[in-house]
Structure 1
Amino acid sequence: MSFAADVGAVESTGKVAERAISVIIALAELGCGAHPLKTIAARANLPSATAYRHLKAGEKAGAVIRWGHGLYALDPRATSAARNGPPADLAALIPGLASDVSRLALSNLQRRTGAVAYMYGSVLAGRICVDHAAGPHEAILANAPRLVQELLRSAPLCTDAAGLVISAYMDASPTGEHAEIRAAGYAYGPAPLAGWDVIAAPLWFHRAVTGSVAAMVPTAVLQRKDIQHRHAEAVMEAAAELSHRMTTGAWDCGTLRAS
């Protein structure tokens, strides 16, 4: 049973989905960690009793977890479907997922930067790997700790730059770190894999941020600012190319050459 359907008998049908979404958005906007019912309800602009019904339904649907007494958070496992490939609803939101063109674009980014190149989609308050190009680093990924492998596949948006750049561009009134990311056009920070960093740029479908393109690079490589900036430019160019193709439906490999 879906999150919204579980409270349908209590609330009018026309408002159920809207209120369920507002609760999920409120949790996402409040960020990592667990939050009190009153805080969530206020953020969602709902009465506490209404927010509570949707949070309980979210628990049953596997989207929300309860911590202690009256504290709730988005369940990061809600994005763990990456283990079995991108879910159908994500594929519907981002046409051309894991297409020949996106694979070629990631391969070009990998060769240009020497990084592990990733394409992520946004699901709930998490990011999920759609495709990647590791080049000579595939063995490093295969030998990484299991938790690291899982975090590279799917994780809450607050985990690394690949998620933070998505949340920054979803923020209607960015301040602090979100404002800095938007001013730069990319996010930069530590990767889940020790000794590596991530540079990521937003992926757009029309005017909606639907994911990110990221390059995971050994930390030592990015010590020089000029190299960091060159990698950032490469990532932003790849993200812009894929965003254009997703929006226009231009998935012809003949117009994108291997670098």
Structure 2
Amino acid sequence: MEPIRLSKRMAELGLCSRREADEYIAKGWVKVDGKIVDVLGSKVTPDQTITLEPSAKAAQADRVTVLINKPVGYVSGQAEDGYQPAVVLFKPENQWEGDDSGIRFAPAHLRGLAPAGRLDIDSVGLLVLTQDGRVAKHLIGADSQVEKEYLVRVSGKLSEDGLRKLNHGLSLDGEKLKPARVWWQNEDQLRFILKEGKKRQIRRMCELVGLQVVGLKRIRIGRMMLGNLPTGKWRYLKSGETF
């Protein structure tokens, strides 16, 4: 069996992200077959047993995940073209009054907080920010099967077999899209359920079948619903809640 980097193997096993793995290794918080390995770049074989020390598990427990109802005009990630990133909304005065997580806001929660998935500047709804590499991998890793659900208001005339193509049969960037579930919610609104998230995917899919997107709102990621979280407000993911 070909040895691979310890950090890569830890990420494959879902123990943490590769960045977190390097941090834990450097701090002496990782054991391989019962022995501490603290040298970055160390390699292991797939049959070796990797465990985290209690200190690493405690650090993971302190990492937060935040659900935001993103308004129009904010970008998901880094600031661009003069537009602010959604993370600027993560401040005490914007915490939803209905947040019953029991977690108190702390400036330390901003450290390493990053979006787990895109929601473009003209779209609104559920956006996840997380400090936890395990959450990010689950939601946006290459093998993620987590569903994302959207309400999409459209204009234009749908091509004859457009709805069938939206469900399965379109390609973007030279790649066939995974099967989706798309149906009419009402006369001018479609409901989309996807398991992938290419850049501006829904808008581009609609253009291919003769429709223009007028409004787009993400209402669910996995088991987590946007619910009645108000626009521009955020809440913590509670203990016991999972995607």
TM-score using structure 2 length: 0.28
Query: When you count helix as a share of all residues, which structure comes out higher?
Result: 1
Query: When you count strand as a share of all residues, which structure comes out higher?
Result: 2
Per chain length, whose mean CA-contact separation is higher, i.e. which structure has more relative contact order (CA < 8 Å, sep 6+)? 2
TM-score using structure 1 length: 0.27
Larger Cα-atom Rg: 2
